[in-house]
Structure 1
């Protein structure tokens, strides 16, 4: 009876039609939702101003709110920068960007980047809290160009759009590697009228000079490769007749190209032709160069050389040192001299440290060292070119960058601090007395006046710029890599052969 009633009242033709319609709507609705999910653009954002480019898992872009670009090692320092920025009021600040490959895959580069952020933040805090209320205050943002600076164009386009309110970007620092990508980024930034302060770029062709101001508004706080080579030559008093050059034959790396030329110039009259090797396209990779270095050490043993100049990056430098540790002429002493890439060796776990105890000395021209401005028995601090007081100020400031002591032996935090100091100096010098911030075009024109009594008293030494934005006679710490891996300061050398005069005014060049 109930079944008959159910069929009669609930399964009438009308209800069957309604049931079919409801079912169809459900199917279509679910299908439509599924189609929406398929065609909906993927959310590739990471944080404000930061996203993952197509085909990449890196978070690329510009941010100053504390985002760490998904790099856990940067979380603490990016959070500190975010807190400092959050305390600034709209309209009272100018912005400085740190342009760096924050998501670099190479461990050595990643460590260097962390130190650069710590050094820059240390000076940002000083500028905002311990500079007699000078204006404008400084907002610091992080600009990640991705591993090997692959996404520099995206980031540079974003930075050039930040020169107006509310950001008022007035300078870009960081700019730490002498690569083709960095050169292109600097070209684009300076072409847009943005002042740039390089930290650890040393390539001679990533600098301005007489008749070749290709990067208007670029300044640097590190010596060029040529100045490093001059300082090494003055320090070592190398006899060219007993020296040989080992060099990378791959071109296109501005650090290697200019270091090779600088060393060759200092070895005029040397009796031996350079020993060549060819690094992999990615010179952070091991490649097969270790085999070449084994052969080169045999040939060096065939010479009368005592000093070996090495023009190459740190991976190949480490391979070469390891090969020298196993050389056949172990009874002969050798000194290897190289550029600032030697600073990476202290943390390189693949370095055969036992090689350094076998009549092999490795010294490099560092960009900064914590002992350079500390007096020690038999090693007084130079009377000019820098000071203990300026370095002690840095030590006070850098403690804010981390709860743990920040390692200083590689000099990266010191140089980044000085670059930030130079950027802030230019921004404030360019700010009119009756204005809250400077015009964009006026910041990069300050570099010719950063000298004499207007020099920047850096933690790495005085920063006295010539008319082209290059440091004049900058202190070059000569550092020796000890067998226990420590980077021991030897003495300060000078491109001009002696410290600058108290006036620190670059001479007229012919």
Structure 2
């Protein structure tokens, strides 16, 4: 009976057909879906012009539509930039890109990136709304090079493809760290004929200058002084006795900021009786590594010297470790002053800095790139007659108030310098635009830098920007800032690489 039922209901032609259909549904459809999944490329797009590189979850590329690169703290300023760009008519603008490691995981860099974008947006808004209807209008785009600038190449490739319509990219600003990756990025951008305005690159070897191979980066300008100029300004300000000073320096090479800073400091310490104290930072200097142990030993050796001033040539993570170690030194009865470059500006936001160290007869001063009190008159501290102005700084304050609902912190100087770099880029773009033309030719923007001086200087919020023939700021104001006991960044005075403020003409002298 059972066999007869099985034959009747399972082996009829109709049952075989339904069995085949069922098998197809159970096996065939999932198999088809799997084949399609395996053969269809993964969608790694994040937004227009932005995607995740293979092996990375970072969103890398270029965008000006308001995309925040999945970094929540950038959402507000990215949205403001997107709205400003959306209001521009298609044929009325030139584009400026801000090139930064937007997705950096380093806390100090994340703060720096935010403040730089806020400063750049503030100047974009002024260019489009408060500049007597000057043209072209300015479109601002964000260009992410990824953590440690690891994806600089793909982002730079995208930028070099944006020089034609509809983007008409005419300048790149930002490029804010003196690293090998940034040096390579600047090389590629300037090779493509794109004008570049560095914000906080200070390395002497990421610059043009006199002598053989002087034009390594054609079209590069900077608004910050070089490490060499920072060191000269510190020396003029501090009047350091080399007999009572020593240098603590990083032995890791290839970091253009550190390499040029230690050379500049060494030149200021000719005749010093002590050899430099050495440490070696990790390949990624934002990592803690084991250098804290080295600094504990170095502080013992410093106590063995007659030194009163310590020049520090290294990045901010190691600087913080060194301050913490020197604050716990055995010879706490002896006062010490640490002098360093602009990486000291990160200390105010560094939660790992031991504030108690600053109460142990330890003074920390650094050459800042900008400070909110530098061009504000105060009792007993008049504003210099040349080299900058209170009016230019007040204009900046009006503009930066538009960049965020909450007040933008200015003590680290990052927003101020980014605003000035954007102002310099806008100045060059508009100076290069012929009468009656809608926008300038690409090649004409990069040739403007030798004329940015004298009455054609940029009235920067950080001080006058008078460029020499190589695109470097001449005798730029260098605020000397002291890390107060509560961790705040207190303005001390303006120092000058040439020892005094520039003449009213602000014309760089002839150099060999």
Please give the range of the TM-score, normalised by the shorter of the 2 chains.
over 0.9
Given that 2:10 and 2:16 are in contact with CA atoms closer than 8 Å, whether structure 1 keeps it comes out as no
2:422 is equivalent to residue 423 of structure 1:
no
Deviation at 1:33, TM superposition (A): 2.2
SS class of match (1:401): coil
Please name the residue that 1:180 is paired with: 180
Could you say which residue in structure 1 is the equivalent of 2:87?
A: 87
State the partner residue of 2:102.
102
Q: TM-score, normalised by structure 2?
A: 0.97
Equivalent residues in 2 for 1:12-411, closer than 5 Å: 13-26=12-25, 27-211=27-211, 212-411=214-413
Distance in 1 (alpha carbons) for counterparts of 2:373 and 2:105 = 30
Whole-Å separation in 2 of the counterparts to 1:368 and 1:291: 33
- Looking at structure 1, the residues matched to 350 and 17 of structure 2 have their Cα atoms a distance apart, in angstroms, of 75
Work out the CA distance in 1 between the residues paired with 2:31 and 2:306.
81
3-state secondary structure, aligned to 1:82 = helix
Q: 1:461 aligns with which of 460, 463, 470?
A: 463
The number of equivalent residue pairs is 506
Distance in structure 1 (CA, Å) of the matches to 2:254 and 2:182? 12
Q: Is the partner of 1:127 in helix, strand or coil?
A: helix
Structure 1 distance, partners of 2:335, 2:235, is 19
State how far apart, in whole Å, the 2-side matches of 1:358 and 1:431 are.
57
Separation of aligned partners in 2, 1:11 and 1:290: 79
Counterparts of 1:299 and 1:213, CA distance in 2: 43
Greater shift, 358-367 or 25-34, is seen at 25-34
Give the distance between the partners of 1:317 and 1:11, measured in 2 at CA. Answer: 82
Is 1:503–2:505 an aligned residue pair? Answer: yes
Q: Deviations along 1:431-471, whole A, 9 cap, x unmatched?
A: 00021000000101000000000000000000000000000
Structure 2: segments with no counterpart, 5+ residues: none
**Local SS of the residue matching 1:176:** coil
Moved over 3 A (4+): 10-14
Residues 123-142 of structure 1 deviation map (CA, whole Å, 9 limit, x = unaligned): 00000000000000000000
Q: How far has the Cα of 1:326 moved from its partner?
A: 1.3
Residue aligned with 2:205, SS? helix
Q: What residue number does 1:492 align with?
A: 494
CA offsets, 1:219-245, max 9 Å, x none? 000000000000000000111111111
**For residues 99 and 397 of structure 1, what CA distance do their matches in structure 2 show?**
21
d(CA) in 2 for partners of 1:89, 1:210: 42
CA distance in 2, matches of 1:330, 1:306: 12
Separation in 1 of the partners of 2:55 and 2:11? Answer: 57
Query: What is the TM-score of this pair, normalised by structure 1?
Result: 0.97
Asked if structure 1 preserves the Cα contact closer than 8 Å seen for 2:308 and 2:336, the reply is yes
| In 1, Cα distance between equivalents of 2:156 and 2:478 | 31
Which segment is superposed worse, 147-156 or 28-37?
A: 28-37
Q: CA deviation at 1:295?
A: 1.3
Tell me the SS of whatever aligns to 2:364.
Answer: strand
